[in-house]
Amino acid sequence: MSGREQLADAYLRLHPESAARLLESLPADQANAVLSAVDTTTAAPVLSQMLPTHAARCLEHQQPHDAALLLEKLVSQQSVAVLRHMPATLREAVLDCMGPQWLMVFKLLLSYPTNTVGAWVEPRVLTLPDDCNAGEARERIARSDQVNQARIYVLDRSRRLRGAVRGLALLQVPNRKTLASILEPADALWARDLLVTAQESAIWERHTEAPVVNRDEEFIGVISYADLRRAHRQSLHGGGAGAEREIAEVTELIAISAGSLWKSLGALMRTDKQR
């Protein structure tokens, strides 16, 4: 390992949060090159601090097996948040490379019933961290391929929705202005809400799309009113709305419990090996 690589390794290992913010500011291929230059034990904590949208774009530049190794080192909710923002074909390829215990957890979390909002979200949208300023936000938007979003959602480091900003508002403030000072409220739909219920939300009186959050209030994507209506028409052929809602509730609870269980078992196994 060269002196430069050793320095990068030390920085990522000692300062994962600040390293994550730095990598988010780079093009995805360059950020991935940095992550790929260190071992997974060093890269994983940095990846966990990145917003899922940015982390997913980094992993798109890795082989599925390498991406799977990284995701297995995160807690299940963090891994699933990243998987949701991957293209479907890549997501399946990464899942195929995972151990059976992780596959069970992730597939449970990814599988919402088709007549609930969670099954129809668009996860590949631009998001911004709440700790960046207007200048940094404009740079990220300029590099993104989702430049036509009406609203850009702002998340905290726990992936919880803080609010939204509009591109026009960002253009009208100084570079050092914080996003928190120009945030507008962003009411969200629940991923486990039935499509028929979500159509009646007051959100649609003001907006044509809505952010979607899971049981832990983590942002998982957006859904437009047009897509919601289309999805509802398709789901009418299935029936069993009440049962589907219960399945959605149980799916989230089982997956969260399973993720904690496998994490605990992994810790016990590592402890046993060290004895």
Residues 129-165 have pLDDT tens digits of 999 999 999 988 888 776 567 799 999 988 999 999 9
Neighbour tally for 99: CB within 10 Å: 10
Asked if residues 84 and 123 have their Cβ atoms less than 8 Å apart, the reply is yes
Distances (CA, A) of 237 to 180, 225, 233, 241: 44, 20, 8, 11
* pLDDT of 253 above 90: no
The C-alpha angle 210, 124, 68, rounded to 5 degrees, equals: 135
Query: What pLDDT sits at residue 274?
Result: 45
User: What SS3 class is residue 129?
Assistant: strand
Strand order in the sheet with 209-213: 189-190, 209-213, 219-224
User: How large is the average pLDDT for residues 215-236?
Assistant: 89
Buried b (16+ CB within 10 A) or exposed e, 21-51: bebbeeebeebbebbbbbeeebbbbbbbbbb
The C-alpha angle 242, 248, 251, rounded to 5 degrees, equals: 140
Query: What pLDDT sits at residue 245?
Result: 52
Query: In the structure encoding, which two tokens stand for residue 87, read together?
Result: 């293209």
Backbone angles phi, psi at 125, to 5 degrees: -125, 155
From the list 40, 116, 115, 121, the residue with the least C-alpha distance to 84 is 121
Quickly state the pLDDT bin for 5 (edges 50, 70, 90). Answer: confident
87-112 pLDDT tens trace? 999 999 999 999 887 888 788 778 88
The C-alpha angle 147, 151, 155, rounded to 5 degrees, equals: 100
**Which is it for strands 219-224 and 161-165: parallel, antiparallel or unpaired?**
unpaired
Mean predicted lDDT score pLDDT of the chain: 84
Query: What pLDDT sits at residue 148?
Result: 67
Distance CA 67, CA 251 (A): 25
Where helices occur in 121-240 by DSSP H, the ranges are 134-143, 167-171, 195-198, 225-235
Task: Give the DSSP H/E element, type plus range, for residue 145.
Answer: none
From the list 160, 159, 164, the residue with the least C-alpha distance to 206 is 164
